Amino acid sequence: MTIAILGGGAFGTALAISMGQDRPIMLWARDISHLAAHRESPRLAGVKLPENVTITAEIGAASQADIVLFATPMQSLATFVAQIDLPLTAKALVACCKGLDLASLKGPTDILASRWPDATPAILTGPSFATDIAHGLPTALTLACADEGVGTSLQGALSTSTLRLYRSTDVVGAELGGALKNVIAIAAGIVIGAGLGDSARAALMTRGFAELSRFALRMGARSETLMGLSGFGDLVLTCTSDQSRNFRHGLSLGAGAVPDPAQTVEGIATAEAVLKQAIRFGIVRQMPITAMVAKVTQGQIGVAEAVQNLMSRPLKEE
């Protein structure tokens, strides 16, 4: 199977490096000047793209691939797919982003399915950093596709010697686990940045996972998916490592510093989108951490007030 990756950012390039070790890969980016000149991403300095990777700025070439991976930020995915005119009927389309679209409240596979209804959407998600994948460090991800046959085919086609993919048909669970963990990671960063300690972070992660699970199960996810790589696994990684952009954003907020505006922080828009969904389904009272993250990141309340609001909630059973 031929594979095209749309998106020359850190994650798309890392996937091309891993998958291109032993198979041909087409990597598309809007600006290929640095990639073509140096065969490496400035975000992954020192890691060269394999010879099997063809770099192109001609997006039409993706229509020749059997599998197309969309490695674009979540909040730009809908605009991106609306702007490109590609005949992708009967192909497997794999989203490689995490979150909910703020405008439509859709997940990435729904956005792909709306644009190409005759294609088969899937999502690749789980605990991973681009630099780890690019350097060939062992990484395990979830490949979720509602069509079990296509999912099995994708699992074989996209796995590498260092990138192990576990298959699932629970697309909703895989999407929501990957989306909501970013919200909780911002909260975890706030806790550490504010000097509240590791015990507070552990409590936040535990209650955050309970909150994530309540919301995802209400949306139709399966509990075993949430306990897997795309849920619990990704939550642990992003809440405990400063490689996580969402965690670092929270860290800055908690410390009273100005977060880096150049960083893509998917958890900000996701918190707002999830809150809208929670209000729609009448479960907003069960989403206190998400609500506080949305208010803090939008500047509606300060960190001290958010902590006070969470700590003063009525006592209850676990």
Q: pLDDT digits over 161-218, tens only?
A: 999 999 999 999 999 999 999 999 999 999 999 999 999 999 999 999 999 999 999 9
pLDDT in tens, 76-117: 999 999 999 999 999 999 999 999 999 999 999 999 999 999
Give the pLDDT confidence score for residue 315 in this predicted structure: 85
Write out the two tokens for 68.
Answer: 């197309």
* Alpha-carbon separation of residue 105 from 45, 108, 263, 275, 296 (angstroms): 35, 10, 22, 10, 21
Give the pLDDT confidence score for residue 1 in this predicted structure: 84
Model's pTM, two decimal places? Answer: 0.95
Residues 6+ away with beta carbon under 8 Å from 292 = 187, 301, 306, 309, 310
% pLDDT > 70, the chain: 100
Whose tokens are 């535990």? That residue is 206
Give the pLDDT confidence score for residue 121 in this predicted structure: 98
pLDDT at 138 over 90: yes
φ, ψ dihedrals at 291, nearest 5°: -60, -40
Give the pLDDT confidence score for residue 12 in this predicted structure: 97
Q: What is the mean predicted confidence (pLDDT) over 251-275?
A: 94
**Residues identified as active-site:** 181
pLDDT at 267 over 90: yes
For the domain made up of 3-169, give the CATH fold. Answer: Rossmann fold (3.40.50)
- Comparing C-alpha atoms, which of 26, 10, 114 is closest to residue 71? 10
Domain boundaries, the chain: 3-169, 172-311
Give the pLDDT confidence score for residue 87 in this predicted structure: 94
Superfamily of structural domain 172-311: N-(1-d-carboxylethyl)-l-norvaline Dehydrogenase; domain 2 (1.10.1040.10)
CA distance 25 to 7: 13
pLDDT at 17 over 90: yes
pLDDT at 262 over 90: no
First to last CA, the chain: 48
The number of residues making up the chain comes to 318
Give the pLDDT confidence score for residue 73 in this predicted structure: 95
Give the pLDDT confidence score for residue 120 in this predicted structure: 98
